[in-house]
Structure 1
Amino acid sequence: MEEAPTREPKRLRQDAAVTSAAAAAEEPQYVYLPIADAMKVPGVRVCLFAVVSEIGITDRSRGTDFTLRLRIVDQSCMDGISVTVFADKTTLLPCVKSSGDVISLHNVMITMHGEFFVSFNKEVSSFALFESKVAECSPYQTSVKYHGSKHDKELLTQMRTWLAYNPLGLKDFELQLRSLKSDSTFDLVCKVVHVHEDNDKLIFYVWDGTDTPAVEFQATLDPKAVESPPLFEGPPLPREVLCTMPIIGTVLRIFSDMPIKEVSHMQNRVYWARFCNITCKEEFGIWKGILLASSKVRLLSHEDGSVVDRRKMYAIRKANQVLCQPMASFPSNVTVLSDVEYEEEWHSTLMQSLTHKEVTHKLKTLARVVGAYPCQASGLRLLSTGNIHLRLTLEDPTARIHAYVHKNYLVQFFGGFLTEEAITKKMNKLLGIPEPEDSEEGAPLTRNPPWIWCCLTSFYMDKNNPWDSRKYRIFATEMRD
């Protein structure tokens, strides 16, 4: 008798279909709303796929939680909306590598408190973070409850494409210290290396590895301003703080009369930050930054794209001896006024010497003479007799110092027999004062001191207080016509 055909394959197909349908039913289905649409339904839990435009600071809530505030944007809302995330530990908060990264938010709620913002409930909400400039579709951080969906890859690609053609606009106003311009407003990405706080006034000491531009001086100023230009803007730094300063690149002081909530974080550790909508000016040849009423300070991750770019550029500069020289003097506008005999040391910056571990230090440096005492006719007459010392104020991108030419060394320094006329001519050359025939008629008289090589050595006047009595003198340097 012939056996009946088995019905097993059909049952297997049916079971597989049921399993597949069940799996599809279990797969999370998320409907992502544009930010503009989500703002129309406050109080309803929604899902968002957006770009992080601002990264706030980690702080404690009024309870036991930690909080982080972000600002996100998308095609529908370029002004963006604030997101406040709560978590039991700081490690559970989003750690955004760079502004411009993409964030996926599930089960968050739009609420109103003065303005619309996104409320993240740690019990039901979840997030995932994606890099903006790579092809990788896997998130680099997710919260515990986050579950992706099959549409995430498509949405991520769309968001990255939109961002490529519609950047956040931060670069348009972004300058480096080497590109500062007086009385303009701009953004500055920099490392905050120190914060000084006094009577609700703040001074941020910031650095990005580049040099501020060398400025021209008004030649018509009171001669006393030429004789004693200030060495720095703001209060002097204690030596223990000074020794933490970078030895290559300018440290700019940014002044603020407003309270800045990020200050406590900057005082506890070194931070990179974006100073938004600030301005700057120069006084006595010293650049100073100023925070305006509309200015903001945003803390940045070490992995932020702008931060990574600056760190790479500085690494290249630091590795090259020539690039360590002042940017304004490289490569062709160094005026060789000095015949430097001391060749045992290669180029050192003034900050490198100020922070040297020993009080006495010999160096060869490239600097400008921005002040001289004496510089008036009566004092120059005394110089010609060799009866007094000459004090020069030297400047490079890192610092200013006073350096003395001993009276017994004046003849050698000026390159020969001293007359009042010869000294006047050479002093004008050092200070960058143009000859009358070189000045354009009707143009404001300015002076632009040339860069010169010179040798310096530090010494102290009081062996019981060597650091506070430390001074510099010039040696092995001779001016040539």
Structure 2
Amino acid sequence: MATICADFTLTLRIVDQSRPSGISVTFFAENTALLPCVRSSGDVISLHNITIALHHGESFFIYDKKFSSFALFEGKASTECRPYQHSVKYKYLASKHDNEILTQMRMWLVSHPLGHKDIELQLMSIKSDSAFDLVCKVLHVHEASNGVWILYVWDGTDTPVTEFQMMLDTESVTSPPLHLEEAPLPREVLFTLPCVGSVLRVFTNRFFKEILHFQKGIYWARFCNITCKQEFGMWKGIMLPVCRVRLLSNEDDSVVERLKMFDSRIATKVHRRPMASLPNVSDITDVMEHKRTGYITLMESLTHKEVIHKFKTLVRVVAAYPCQDNDLSLLVAGCHGMRLTLEDPTARIHAYIHKDDGANFFGGSVTVEAITRKMNKLLGITEPEVDEQASASKRNPPWIWCCIKSYYLDENDIWGSRRYRIFDTVIRD
């Protein structure tokens, strides 16, 4: 019986003074520990005994595990000329000219910085239907029942707010989903996600070797040529066929930059709020005696250690059910309540206004017309008489303060039957 040994591979794009456009080099090794692990874009690699090949008219290098060797150095100007990683099987042996060449390369990089920054975005600036690079932390990987892989990625910033279609009859009956996955994440996974900053779901139809790393631990990575689109008012990342993934170390400049930004963000209470809500929040709602209560995100509530708790949060109302005139008349009469779909950059939940809370929530309004006007404010529907030039197809809900308490319906399944209820929140006139 023949035994087939599959090598691990890694492809790097390298540049120097003679070839600023770069050339690819492919490495082969028995395991990933023997492959180069570049700490930061712009670091310097020295290669010995590599093979030059030609494919479709383009030259590239091949690193042969049998006789090639490499060494990796920091790209920043430094007196340190020792490599932070080198090949093991055939140990890298420095020549007498290596220090001089390394210094020249570092000086050249100062005046010729790498050009990836112009297409490198953060989650707070992602765009629809355009290709870009994304540097982020891969928190979790899941294979859906249809064979699609979902990667949960984060960089400490918030995805941009989205606009919604104007409320139609069909939309008032069917609220938008709370997540893009087939089913909500298990609680043990939910508890591993950050409570500040958006977690983007990235979908791909193909398996790639880096998924094996992501399944074993949390890694920072660069996704090259990724795109995004909006579904149900939520951002969805999509890996294009030409997308490439490169693992990054915590010392990579892009990673360090993002970690510093996040540390600065969570250092103050105000900056923990949704980025799109700053500097001002609308005064549509009044949270009464809870104005000095601390703010938490929806993800902090979803991962709260106790199933029953109260909190104040900053959200947008993306949908309401029911919201047609005949239903609102029953709401005025105290016959039934209402379900609102709330979102912030971290999560989306359903929260209920119980029928005995309706009068208080709507500030004592007793007519369908008055309640409709206040609901339009919450949903971001522009009044025609206020702005006749407003778009008739889009709405942009404002950020509002809201007090919420959780409860459960089934003592035998307190977490599975948990619900949310709005209280001590009033819509202003």
TM-score (norm 1): 0.81
Q: 1:276 to 1:91 in 2, by over 3 A?
A: closer
Structure 2 equivalent of residue 134 of structure 1 = 77
Q: Does 1:391 align with 2:335?
A: no
Q: 1:450 is aligned with what amino acid?
A: P
Judge conservation of contact 2:27–2:35 (CA < 8 Å) in 1. Answer: no
Give distance in 2, aligned partners of 1:375 and 1:244.
Answer: 36
Structure 1 Cα separation of the partners of residues 18 and 340 of structure 2 = 60
Single out whichever of 240-249 and 290-299 deviates more from structure 2: 290-299
Tell me the CA shift for residue 67 of structure 1: 5.7
8 Å contact from structure 2 (residues 23, 59) kept in 1: no
**Structure 1 range deviating more: 392-401 or 344-353:** 344-353
Map of 1:243 onto structure 2 = 191
Query: Counterparts of 1:62 and 1:136 in 2: how far apart (Å)?
Result: 45
Q: CA deviation at 1:85?
A: 4.8
Distance 1:261 1:122 in 2: 19
How many residues of Structure 1 are paired with residues of Structure 2 in the alignment?
Answer: 420
Q: In 2, Cα distance between the equivalents of 1:376 and 1:268?
A: 49
The residue that corresponds to 1:459 in the other structure is 407
For residue 436 of structure 1, give the secondary structure of its aligned residue in structure 2.
Answer: coil
TM-score by length of 2: 0.90
- Looking at structure 2, the residues matched to 130 and 408 of structure 1 have their Cα atoms a distance apart, in angstroms, of 68
Please name the residue that 2:27 is paired with.
84
Shift of the alpha carbon at 1:169?
Answer: 2.2
Aligned to 1:180: 126
- Residue 441 of structure 1: how far off its partner (Å): 3.4
**Matches of 1:65 and 1:184, distance apart in 2:** 34
- In 2, are the aligned partners of 1:106 and 1:127 still within 8 Å (CA)? yes
Q: Is 1:279 matched up with 2:279?
A: no
Taking structure 1 as reference, are residues 299 and 153 closer, same or farther at Cα in structure 2, changes over 3 Å only? same
Indicate if the aligned counterparts of 2:13 and 2:22 stay in contact, CA closer than 8 A.
Answer: no
> 2 CA distance for matches of 1:64 and 1:369?
52
Greater RCO, 1 or 2 (C-alpha within 8 Å, sep 6+): 2
Q: How does 1:45-444 map to 2 (within 5 A)?
A: 63=5, 68-77=10-19, 78-86=21-29, 91=33, 93-111=35-53, 117-121=60-64, 124-139=67-82, 140-143=84-87, 145-198=91-144, 199-219=146-166, 221-225=168-172, 228-235=175-182, 236-342=184-290, 345-441=293-389, 443-444=391-392
CA distance in 1: counterparts of 2:396 and 2:195, whole angstroms: 24
Query: How far apart in 2 are the matches of 1:412 and 1:248?
Result: 31
- Aligned AA (2:122): Q
* Distance (Å, rounded) in 1 between the aligned partners of 2:389 and 2:87: 70
Change (3 A) 1:299 1:371: same
Amino acid at match of 1:354: L
CA, structure 1 residues 428+219, in 2 after alignment: closer, same or farther (shift >3 Å)?
same
Equivalent residue for 2:397, pick from 449, 456, 459? 449
Aligned-partner Cα distance in 2 for 1:439–1:125: 69
How far apart in 1 are the matches of 2:9 and 2:148? 27
Contact 2:7 2:28 in 1 (8 A): no
Report the secondary structure of 1:341's partner residue: helix
Question: Offset of 1:267 from its aligned partner?
Answer: 1.1
Between stretches 252-261 and 436-445, larger displacement belongs to 436-445
Larger Rg: 1
Residues 278-303 of structure 1, C-alpha deviations (whole Å, 9 max, x = no match): 11111221111112122222221121
Where structure 2 has 5 or more consecutive residues not aligned to the other structure, the ranges are none
What is the distance in 1 between the residues matched to 2:71 and 2:44?
Answer: 8
**TM-fit CA distance, 1:126:** 3.1
Name the CA shift for 1:252/1:226 in 2 (closer, same or farther; >3 Å). farther
Deviation for aligned residue 1:64: 9.2
User: C-alpha deviations, 1:45-83, integer Å up to 9, x for none?
Assistant: xxxxxxxxxxxxxxxx96497665433222333241213
Paired position in structure 2 for 1:56: none
**Is the 2:285–2:425 contact (alpha carbons within 8 Å) kept by the matching residues of 1?**
no
Shift of 1:271: 1.3
Contact 1:340 1:454 in 2 (8 A): no
1:462: Cα distance to partner?
0.1
Range that drifts further, 204-213 or 110-119: 110-119
